[in-house]
Amino acid sequence: MTGMSAVVVDTNVAVVANGNAEHINDEACIDACIEALAEIFDGTRVVIDNGYRIISEYIRNLHLSGQPGIGDKFLQWVHERQACTEYVERVHITRRNREDDFEEFPDDSDLQGFDYNDRKFVAVALASQSNPTILNASDTDWNDYCEELRRYGCKIRFLCPQLMR
C-alpha cells in the first residue's frame, strides 16, 4: 500500500483487523487489514465526510476507547485527529433523496444495485481533492461493481482479494 497518500476506509477493514468478523478467519486477510491500518498511522491521510456519517458507522462497529484491537485504535486515531487536516480530510457530501444516497455518487443505472450503506464511501472519495483509494476487506459488493465505479475515477484496493470470488 506504500505510496498512497489518502484513503477512504470501509468499516469492514477495521472490523476484520480486529479479528471480529465472524465470517472471516483468513489470517492473510486479517494481516493485510492490520498492515493497511498501520500504514495510516505512519502517514497515510484518511478521508471522511464532514457530516459524521462515516465516523458514526465506525462507532457502531468499533470501540472508541481504542481497545482492544487495532481496528478500535484506528477509530480512536481518526476521531482524535478529524479536525487536523494533516491527517484527515473532511469533505462535504450532499444528501440526495434518501439518508444514504448522495449527489456525489454517480447517477448511473449500472450502479443501481450498489449497497446504499457503502455509497457514502464512494461519494467521499469522488468529492475529495486528494484522489483517495477506497480500502475494502470483505465486502463483495465492491468487487461486483468495481469496473462501473472505476469509470468514475474510483480507485479501490482489495485487501483480501481471495474473498472476492
Tell me the whole-structure pTM to 2 decimals: 0.94
Report DSSP state, residue 163: G
And the C-alpha cell for 78?
A: 481518526
* 23-49 pLDDT, tens digit each: 777 899 999 999 999 999 999 999 999
* 46-87 pLDDT, tens digit each: 999 999 999 999 999 999 999 999 999 999 999 999 999 999
The pLDDT value recorded for residue 99 is: 79
* 83-129 pLDDT, tens digit each: 999 999 999 999 988 878 999 999 999 999 999 999 999 999 999 99
The pLDDT value recorded for residue 4 is: 61
Domain spanning 7-163, CATH class: alpha beta
Edge-to-edge order in the sheet of strand 155-158 = 88-91, 45-49, 6-9, 133-136, 155-158
